[in-house]
Amino acid sequence: MEDIEDILIEMEQEIHDGKKPLFGGGVIIDGDALLAAVDRIRKNLPDMVREARQLIAASERKRQEDAARSEAIIMAAQQKADALLSDHGIIKQAEAEAEAIRRQALDFKARVEGDVRSDVLVLLGRAEKSLSEALSIIRNAKETYEKT
């Protein structure tokens, strides 16, 4: 395939090499040489146009592939974000349930401690009463022996 730029340079050279007419302006050129150059350009244009179309088609395919790849990356990122948000929601729910269980355990502990405290106070009260009665018996017995 011939380079069109080379053919255009040849045409320019033909025009520059043309002879000046005796009268008027312009130049006298070899019309056959210029027409041959134009024919060569026409013969080469379809190849160039086909190559340009192939380049454009290849570029469009690459753009579509890149767009599809970008879309896949975006979808994967969105799915990962959704999964993370879902995991975050599950974690928040689990934390809330754990907090509720902790509060129930603390309430149960407080109730048990209150019941134990109450039972201990009852037992201590009974022990104090028993000891008071025993002390009273001991004092009475001592007084009785001291009088005799």
- pLDDT value at residue 73: 93
User: Which has the higher per-residue pLDDT, 48 or 87?
Assistant: 87
**β-strand partners of 28:** 19
Mean pLDDT of 28-45: 85
Parse the chain into domains and list their residue ranges: 4-147
Per-residue pLDDT at 92 exceeds 70: yes
Per-residue pLDDT at 129 exceeds 80: yes
pLDDT in tens, 49-78: 788 889 899 999 999 999 999 999 999 999
What's the full length of the chain, in residues? 148
Q: State the Cα angle at 76 between 72 and 79, rounded to 5°.
A: 140
Supply 78's token pair: 């969105």
- pLDDT value at residue 14: 85
Q: Helix H segments across the chain?
A: 4-17, 31-147
Q: Kindly report the number of other CB atoms within 10 A of residue 67's CB atom.
A: 10
Report the share of the chain in percent with pLDDT over 70. 99
- pLDDT value at residue 1: 62
Mean pLDDT of 20-38: 83
DSSP state of 30: -
Q: Is the pTM of this model over 0.85?
A: no
Residues 18 and 29 sit within 8 Å (Cβ to Cβ)? yes
**β-strand partners of 19:** 28
